Amino acid sequence: MTDTSATNERIGAALVHPYLNHAVRMYETKYASRADIDAAMRFGCGYPAGPLTLLDQLGLDVVRESLAAMYAETGDHLHQPADLLESLVGQGHLGRATGRGFYTWSGEEVVADAETPSADDRPQLRHDIVSVGVVGTGTMASGIVEVFAKAGYDVTYVGRSEEKLDGVVATITKSLDRAISKGKSDEATKTAVLGRLTGATTREALADVDLVVEAIAEDLAIKTELFADLDRICRPGAILATTTSSLPIASCASATSRPEAVIGMHFFNPAPVMKLVEVVTTEQTSTEVDETVRALCAKTGKVAVSCGDRAGFIVNALLFPYLNDAVTLSEQGEHALVEIDAAIKEQVELPMGPFELLDVVGNDVSLAIQKELLAEFGEPGFTPAASLERAVAEGRLGRKTGQGFHDYR
């Protein structure tokens, strides 16, 4: 093994193995299913394999030994091998090499087992969904309007002014024209999609829709005011969904008289392109509403994963501690940022290195999410890295400012 290969392997283990350990803990606590955890990271981040599949491929014993060594050195609970990982290794279920790990394997292929969803498990529409409402006119809201209109739903979208409403149509038109230029659509489809759109400057226009998706500012006071108003306006039986990625969905639900009909639909940006939707239920969300929303996602061509109402959901709770760990690793001064980026892309074939991804996401966004995870889980290891705090304080937010961890000027 060359010095570079050995270095890349050490970097990969230092950053990827704790991420895998987080995923095991998420699974063993039944926060999300095996399939949903893996699908979330594949479709939400573009990873070639989900964390539990990757664990099976690397070998549970290999990762367990690596984590145990890290834990002995750091004493960080996040490095202590998860109980389930210890149990499977103790049983000799080491992953693909032994035919059994988190999945059952036959050679290189995963085979169906007791946990594999069958066709009979597919969610069904328990509520009739014909028309959809969207509150908001920003990038995410416009993308969600496009998603539903392209899937054949009549969409009423609400904004503060005619200018804002016109902006949604312009954004969707541009997207459709781009698809036509690439041979992926045609003028007839464009006409049909645009014909399904109705803009309004008053929320009263949502009185008869079957589902409302809220995509406004990440401000809890603003959102709870909106949900109270939607509860007043929308017909009985209508589902109220929020796209929040950071705020408690239960707080939105508590502003209504129908908490059983409130649910999270966390789309990923850009919504027309990204396949993943995290469907987030509170303790009061009804089974029928949950199943309807998951079935609706499938009808719009999305991959729905199910999880509960806590900070980070699946993707952010797994992704951002890994990114934060990369910043902490860089602070030790042994590896350049480009070296860490290259090592991760080589070792686990991720589409971007951690610093490249931080600069795309925005270091301010990353810092805010990391603070939420620290507050939610109380893990000292989730404390934001000093270099991340400093980058935000200095206005080095990433690509959007021309400079982040890398320079784009």
The top-level CATH class assigned to 325-401 is mainly alpha
Are the C-beta atoms of 85 and 21 separated by less than 8 Å?
Answer: yes
Residues 240, 294, 288, 32: is their CA dihedral positive or negative?
Answer: negative
Length of the chain: 409
Cα distance between residue 11 and residue 385, in whole Å:
17
**pLDDT on residue 11:** 96
**pLDDT on residue 101:** 97
Cα distance between residue 37 and residue 19, in whole Å:
12
Q: Go through 253-272 and write b for each residue having 16 or more CB atoms within 10 A of its CB, e for each that does not.
A: bebbebbbbbbbbbbbeebb
**pLDDT on residue 119:** 75
Cα distance between residue 36 and residue 117, in whole Å:
11
- pLDDT of the chain, 409 residues: tens digit per residue: 567 888 999 999 999 999 999 999 999 999 999 999 999 999 999 999 999 999 999 999 999 999 999 999 999 999 999 999 999 999 999 999 999 999 999 999 999 888 888 877 889 999 899 999 999 999 999 999 999 999 999 999 999 999 999 999 999 999 999 999 999 999 999 999 999 999 999 999 999 999 999 999 999 999 999 999 999 999 999 999 999 988 999 999 999 999 999 999 999 999 999 999 999 999 999 999 999 999 999 999 999 999 999 999 999 999 999 999 999 999 999 999 999 999 999 988 899 999 999 999 999 999 999 999 999 999 999 999 999 999 999 999 999 999 999 999 8
Short-list 318, 373, 303, 322, CA closest to 36: 303
**pLDDT on residue 4:** 84
Short-list 104, 105, 120, 140, CA closest to 269: 140
Among the listed residues 66, 306, 316, 363, the single catalytic one is 316
**pLDDT on residue 1:** 55
Among the listed residues 17, 79, 127, 266, the single catalytic one is 266
**pLDDT on residue 2:** 67
What are the Cα distances from residue 8, in Å, to 4, 16, 236, 327? 6, 12, 57, 16
Domain ranges of the chain: 3-121, 131-308, 325-401
Active site residue 77: no
Active site residue 316: yes
**pLDDT on residue 256:** 98
Q: Between 1.10.220.70, 1.10.101.10, 1.10.1040.10, 3.40.50.720, what CATH number should domain 3-121 receive?
A: 1.10.1040.10
Active site residue 79: no
Residue 265 β-bridge partners: 279
- C-beta atoms surrounding 85 within 10 Å: 25
Are the C-beta atoms of 351 and 46 separated by less than 8 Å?
Answer: yes
CA 364, 401, 265: angle at the middle one, nearest 5? 45
Average pLDDT over all residues of the chain? 96
**pLDDT on residue 120:** 73
**316: helix, coil or strand?**
helix
Domains 3-121 and 325-401 share a fold: yes
Are β-strands 211-214 and 197-200 bridged in parallel, bridged antiparallel, or unpaired? unpaired
Active site residue 278: yes
Q: Following DSSP, what letter does each residue of 145-198 receive, concatenated?
A: HHHHHHTT-EEEEE-SSHHHHHHHHHHHHHHHHHHHHTTS--HHHHHHHHHTEE
Among the listed residues 8, 66, 142, 245, the single catalytic one is 245
Q: Mention every residue, 6+ apart, whose C-beta is less than 8 A from residue 261.
A: 237, 238, 239, 240, 285, 286, 289
**pLDDT on residue 348:** 87
**pLDDT on residue 121:** 81
**350: helix, coil or strand?**
coil
Q: For residue 75, what is the enclosing H or E element?
A: none
Residues 195, 226, 288, 28: is their CA dihedral positive or negative?
Answer: positive
End-to-end C-alpha distance for the chain, whole angstroms: 37
387 HSE (CA, 13 A, CB side): 17
Q: Report the topology of domain 131-308.
A: Rossmann fold (3.40.50)
Among the listed residues 127, 131, 214, 278, the single catalytic one is 278
